[in-house]
Amino acid sequence: MTKLSPVQEILKQFWGYEEFRPLQADAIEATLQARDSLVVLPTGGGKSVCYQIPALVRQQLTVVVSPLISLMKDQVDALRSLGVKAAALNSSIPANAQQAAFEQWQAGQLRLLYVAPERLLTDSLLERLRQHPPALFAIDEAHCISSWGHDFRPEYRMLASLKNHFPTIPIAAYTATATPEVRDDIVRQLQLENPVVLVGDFHRANLTYHVQRRQDGYNQICSVMDRYRGQAGIIYTIARNHAEQLSEYLNRLGYKTLPYHARLSEQEKTKHQEALEQDEVEAIVATIAFGMGIDKSNVRYVIHAEMPRSIENYQQESGRAGRDGLPAECWLLYSASDLMAWERIIQQSSDEQRTRARASLKSVEQFCHGLTCRHQYLAQYFGQSFNPPCNACDVCLGKLAAVAEPLRISQMILSCVWRCNENFGVGHIAKVLFGSREAKLVQFGHQELSTFGLLKEHTQRQIRDWIEQLLSQGFLERAGEYHVLHLTAAGREVLRGEQTPILVQTVKASPGTTSLQVFDSWEGVDRELFEQLRQLRRELATEAQVAAFIVFSDATLRDLARRRPTRRDLLLSVHGIGERKAADYGERVMQLIRQWCIERNIPSDLTLSNVSRSDGHSLDSKPIKSNAIAAFPLFEEGLSVEQVAERLGRANSTVHEYLITYIKQHDITDSSRWVEPSVANKIRIAAQYTDNDRLRPLFEAFHGKIPYEILRITLACQSVENTHLGHNRYLGGTPD
């Protein structure tokens, strides 16, 4: 066995990992050599380890500058749970706790001290730093020091004097989002001397990006949340009242959410964020304009209900999904009204800031209407290359289809703009092409134009989308206070047939398809055991008064439910479990697993070679009998779901999943064995008049009187029947 280096030993001992993520080891080495450094790692890349491990190696203090109180708390809680002496100094910390931190510092026991930038350079703290100097200043969210960045904070500019006060102490700057221009500015502002500059890969393979025009925004949001019931998500809006209204609406539908914005008190913000971290709510609805520091690793989806203000913001905010490395979805819903909302906000800025803000917003607009791989666009924006297909975005997954006659449609649109004397906006032009006869259009006589009604076979929403695509490709431009459309030189070339734009339209997903085609992260996982472990995690977190993800990440829980360890040596081989966590939580975890395996007469202490996969084969491809397949003969005997559940020792909900699989596998079209024919008939009729891609509208159509399980069984049989007829109209799988 290869001997671990001292830094690897610490990584294994405290964090339970044997290997570093890309560039972490290089960043740690630069710090241990007392060199200045700039480290750019995308959200989830593990920046904090880069300054935490050197503090433990050298057994000396590192001062961490952070702008967000909530993020400081998460970091300090996580470190303390690992047995590391850490503290924070900010307005939320009681005086006695601050005094205790000072005493630990003076005694040489403190390893990491988190402070806000404005607090760091106060006279009193500077004097303490001179008396007991740290080994390193770590500047988190370093992009805040650059006026070229997306989140410039004037208080960060004070950090430029750090080198004057402490010329011999190295500075390490960390950020998740920085273009080459911003990186140069960070180095310049902090006066870093010959720094080591490390830039990570901005491609996050486990994230699937979807970009859609906001049509029925609430339903679009619900469709994502329905796929992840009981799992954590973040939803972003532009304005405070939007966040509150959306949260209230979702709660009325039965979801559990809380708002998060700058108008909340510090106590309310802390309470709401902790509710998400403790899995007490499904999602936080937060404002884009207000930074929410969150260190939760198992966020399964991030939805931008409205357009973000910059690509940097979007990269950072969407990057909060899937930090545990497991698949996650990022949805961006946009409309022209978002641009107007941001323009009103931008108008309040200085001239220089307005120019930069508009350029940033233009990049977001191009991303929304762009037709290239989303991963490629993001990578190129930050100065990196990426070769599609990524198979993890709407473009590469074929969710968008090219329009058959793009030149003809583009010429119709551009001609309409010209015939309206380039004096109207997107909405008006779409109405003319659609053939609307509303009063304003008739007032201008536009019903007499030759372009009137040329695209009447399409919806106004689709026409608006094509206009936006022409804008993003530079064939049209907005002008003036009212954003009227003007043709560009390239647009005139299209009218002459000298260029052909690319126009696309959204393709409706086929039944049974999934947007997550990155990898099967549930392979070999006992899902019921996973849920039991999640419950135990909540209990352990409550007892320790820390966030649930600090105890174990979802990736760790899945690996536990995969291997089912009951011995300490095997527990330490599980992803994310080091000696401290094994000591603190190991016995409770192993006791649960041991009891679970005894009650169900299933093996424990599995190695990767004999862990079963969800398709009924082991990871080394040896066939084994899965629980789902074991249920099939029982269904053949005519046993009910409840009887099968009792026979197999499984929950009713799990056996319902087996039944849906059984129906599909055996091509069953008659649901009468499980559903009263009269009820099934009502469901089939109602499904024709509801959003049949999701079960919630159908559930609500019956006022909740028909259970989801009955709806799913009926539609599963209908789906099989339609497949035979060649329709594929209904979904019979997981609520979508």
The pLDDT of residue 16: 83
* Strand segments (E) across 166-275: 171-175, 196-199, 207-213, 232-237, 257-260
The pLDDT of residue 144: 87
Distance CA(138)–CA(123), nearest Å, equals: 20
The pLDDT of residue 689: 61
What is the chain's Cα-based Rg?
28
| Among candidate residues 553, 560, 558, 626, the one with its CA nearest the CA of residue 593 | 560
Q: 279 or 565: which carries more pLDDT confidence?
A: 565
Sign of the torsion angle spanned by Cα atoms 579, 584, 589, 595: positive
Sign of the torsion angle spanned by Cα atoms 211, 212, 218, 221: negative
Q: Using H for helix, E for strand and C for coil, what is the string for 9-40?
A: HHHHHHHCCCCCCCCHHHHHHHHHCCCCEEEE
List, for residues 119-154, the tens digit of each pLDDT value. Answer: 898 999 999 999 999 999 999 989 888 876 556 777
Q: 580 to each of 5, 11, 45, how far by Cα in Å?
A: 19, 11, 23
The pLDDT of residue 626: 47
The pLDDT of residue 631: 77
**Vertex 576: Cα angle to 575 and 578 (nearest 5):** 115
Look at strands 196-199 and 37-40 and give their pairing.
Answer: parallel
pLDDT (mean) for 423-452: 93
Tell how far CA 151 is from the center of its chain.
20
The pLDDT of residue 732: 30
Which H or E run contains 487?
A: strand 484-487
Place 267 in a pLDDT band, splitting at 50, 70 and 90: confident
- Amino acid occupying residue 338: D
**Surface-to-core class of residue 296, CB atoms within 10 Å of its CB (0-12 exposed, 13-18 middle, 19+ buried):** buried
φ and ψ at residue 672, rounded to 5 degrees: -65, -20
Q: 728 or 44: which carries more pLDDT confidence?
A: 44
Q: 461 or 401: which carries more pLDDT confidence?
A: 461
* H helix count then E strand count, the chain: 32, 17
| Among candidate residues 619, 672, 692, the one with its CA nearest the CA of residue 223 | 692
The pLDDT of residue 511: 34
pLDDT for 514 beyond 60: no
pLDDT for 698 beyond 90: no
List, for residues 187-201, the tens digit of each pLDDT value. Answer: 999 999 999 999 988
| Among candidate residues 462, 471, 405, the one with its CA nearest the CA of residue 433 | 462
- Pair 693, 512: CB distance under 8 Å: no
Six-digit token string for 477: 């431009």
Q: 435 or 553: which carries more pLDDT confidence?
A: 435
Give the range among 48-62, 540-554, 665-679, 718-732 with minimum mean pLDDT. Answer: 718-732
pLDDT (mean) for 454-460: 90
Q: What is the mean pLDDT of the chain?
A: 84
The pLDDT of residue 184: 92
List, for residues 527-547, the tens digit of each pLDDT value. Answer: 889 989 989 988 898 888 776
Q: What is the CB neighbour count within 10 angstroms for residue 349?
A: 13
- Domains, the chain, ordered by start: 6-199 (3.40.50.300), 207-398 (3.40.50.300), 401-506 (1.10.10.10), 527-610 (1.10.150.80), 627-725 (no CATH)
The pLDDT of residue 669: 85
- Pair 609, 620: CB distance under 8 Å: yes
pLDDT for 2 beyond 80: no
Six-digit token string for 311: 């690509």
Q: Which residue has the tokens 């929950």?
A: 651
Beta bridge partners of 402: 504
List, for residues 585-628, the tens digit of each pLDDT value. Answer: 999 999 999 999 998 888 888 876 555 544 333 443 333 234 56
The pLDDT of residue 729: 28
The pLDDT of residue 723: 60
Q: Half-sphere exposure of residue 501, counting CA atoms within 13 Å on the CB side?
A: 33
Look at strands 171-175 and 207-213 and give their pairing.
Answer: unpaired
pLDDT for 733 beyond 50: no
Q: What is the CB neighbour count within 10 angstroms for residue 736?
A: 18
pLDDT (mean) for 39-45: 83
Sequential DSSP letters for 174-193:
EES---HHHHHHHHHHTT-S
Six-digit token string for 536: 């135990």
pLDDT for 174 beyond 90: yes
Q: Is 325 left (phi over 0), alpha (psi -120 to 50) or beta?
A: left
- Amino acid occupying residue 682: K
The pLDDT of residue 449: 94
Place 372 in a pLDDT band, splitting at 50, 70 and 90: confident
pLDDT for 224 beyond 60: yes
pLDDT for 5 beyond 70: yes
Distance CA(421)–CA(447), nearest Å, equals: 14
Q: Which residue has the tokens 């690996």?
A: 559
Quote the percentage of the chain above a pLDDT of 70: 88
Verdict on whether the full-model pTM lies above 0.75: no
Q: 67 or 108: which carries more pLDDT confidence?
A: 108
pLDDT (mean) for 10-38: 91
Beta bridge partners of 476: 487
List, for residues 713-730, the tens digit of each pLDDT value. Answer: 998 888 777 765 543 322
Highest averaged pLDDT of the listed ranges 28-32, 402-406, 660-664, 712-716: 28-32
Q: What is the CB neighbour count within 10 angstroms for residue 607?
A: 11
φ and ψ at residue 175, rounded to 5 degrees: -155, 155
Distance CA(480)–CA(61), nearest Å, equals: 55
Q: 56 or 678: which carries more pLDDT confidence?
A: 56
The pLDDT of residue 515: 31
The pLDDT of residue 610: 55
Q: What is the CB neighbour count within 10 angstroms for residue 342?
A: 24
- Pair 396, 389: CB distance under 8 Å: yes
Q: Which residue has the tokens 């993003």?
A: 472
Angle between helices 336-346 and 351-369 (to 10 degrees): 170
